[in-house]
């Protein structure tokens, strides 16, 4: 397995040190940047595979860094945010960041996010499989047939589109705005009630226990995630 280049843009040296000492050097190559400008430069010169981006940088704010990165690269960006930074976090996700972690986070949480990002990075540009499976959920994107435990589930066109959108970004959080735009179109970007209602329909059809969803996870205040594993 090749070494994964991880760019961490974070001004707090303790956090960088924690990552340096706990990430296995045989698997991850850590590139460190303490400011937004340094991070943008490092992203351009060293082509990392994944970027970890702190929201509270001293020079440029994380939303702006995300925007400037997305002008030229699709490299997965994972936001590191503190509690109380929710509006900024959502803005960064809407600007093209892929996922987020709330500080304080544990190593297993970080590794899980990195794995998801890695998986998507590998798929980027490749042809996608027609079949998507997650536990006993199976989506055949060619024939648009969805089955749970081998039994076909009848979905309306919107329900299917919503599920397919979540599956395309499986494991990553999708903001309300992204989902509404992708599934219903830009005019619906603020009509969150549509999303809540249709996710409810999907849960009733796909989840064994809709009150304890295994796949369709609510991220309060942010959006929804199709949970992997």
Partner 1 sequence: MSFAVSDFQHVVTFSVMFVVAFVISNLTRRVRLQADEARHRERRTATLYGLSRELAATRATHNLVNVAVQHLHDIFDAKAAIWLQLADGRLDNAASGEHAFTPDDKERGIVEWVFSHDKPAGLGTDTLPSATALHVALRGTQERIGVLSVQPNDPHRFNDPEQRTLLDVFGSQIASALERSRLAEQAQHATIQMEAERLRSSLLSSVSHDLRTPLSVITGAASALVDSGPALAPAAQRDLAETIHEEAQRLARLVRNLLDMTRIASGAVNVAKEWQPIEGIIGAALGRLEELLRGRKVDVRVPLDLQPVPIDGLLIEQVLINLLENAAKYTPNGTPIDISAHAETGAVVVEIADRGPGIPSELVDRIFEKFYQLPREGASVGAGLGLAICRGIVEAHGGRIWAENRSGGGAVFRFTLPIDGPPPEVAAEDKE
Which residues contact partner 1 (rule: CB under 8 A)? 83-84, 86, 104, 156-158, 191-194, 196-197, 199-200, 203-204, 209-213, 217-221
Give the contacts of 95 (CB within 8 A, at least 6 positions apart).
63, 66, 67, 70
Closer residue to partner 1 in complex, CB, 4/112: 112
Residue 170 Cβ vs partner 1, minimum distance, rounded to whole Å: 16
State the Cα angle at 25 between 72 and 13, rounded to 5°: 70
Residue 106 Cβ vs partner 1, minimum distance, rounded to whole Å: 8
Closer residue to partner 1 in complex, CB, 60/145: 145
CA 120 – CA 139 distance, rounded (Å): 18
CA 95 – CA 54 distance, rounded (Å): 15
Residue 205 Cβ vs partner 1, minimum distance, rounded to whole Å: 11
Closer residue to partner 1 in complex, CB, 38/105: 105
Beta bridge partner(s), residue 53: 9, 79
Closer residue to partner 1 in complex, CB, 69/226: 226
């Amino acid at each position: 397995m090749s070494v994964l280049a991880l760019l961490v843009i974070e001004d707090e040296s303790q956090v960088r040190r924690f990552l340096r000492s706990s990430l296995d050097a045989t698997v991850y190559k850590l590139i460190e940047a303490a400011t937004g400008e340094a991070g943008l430069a490092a992203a351009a010169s060293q082509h990392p595979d994944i970027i970890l981006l702190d929201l509270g940088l001293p020079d440029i704010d994380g939303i702006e860094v995300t925007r400037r990165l997305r002008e030229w690269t699709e490299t997965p960006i994972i936001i590191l945010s503190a509690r109380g930074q929710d509006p900024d976090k959502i803005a960064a996700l809407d600007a093209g960041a892929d996922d987020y972690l709330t500080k304080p986070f544990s190593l297993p949480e970080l590794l899980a996010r990195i794995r998801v990002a890695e998986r998507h990075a590998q798929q980027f540009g490749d042809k996608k499989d027609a079949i998507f499976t997650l536990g006993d959920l199976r989506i055949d994107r060619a024939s648009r047939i969805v089955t749970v435990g081998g039994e076909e589930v009848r979905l309306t066109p919107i329900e299917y589109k919503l599920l397919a959108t979540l599956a395309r970004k499986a494991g990553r959080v999708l903001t309300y705005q992204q989902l509404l735009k992708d599934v219903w179109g830009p005019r619906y970007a603020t009509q969150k009630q549509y999303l809540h209602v249709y996710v409810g329909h999907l849960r009733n059809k796909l989840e064994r226990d809709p009150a304890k969803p295994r796949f369709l996870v609510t991220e309060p205040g942010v959006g929804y995630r199709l949970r992997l594993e």
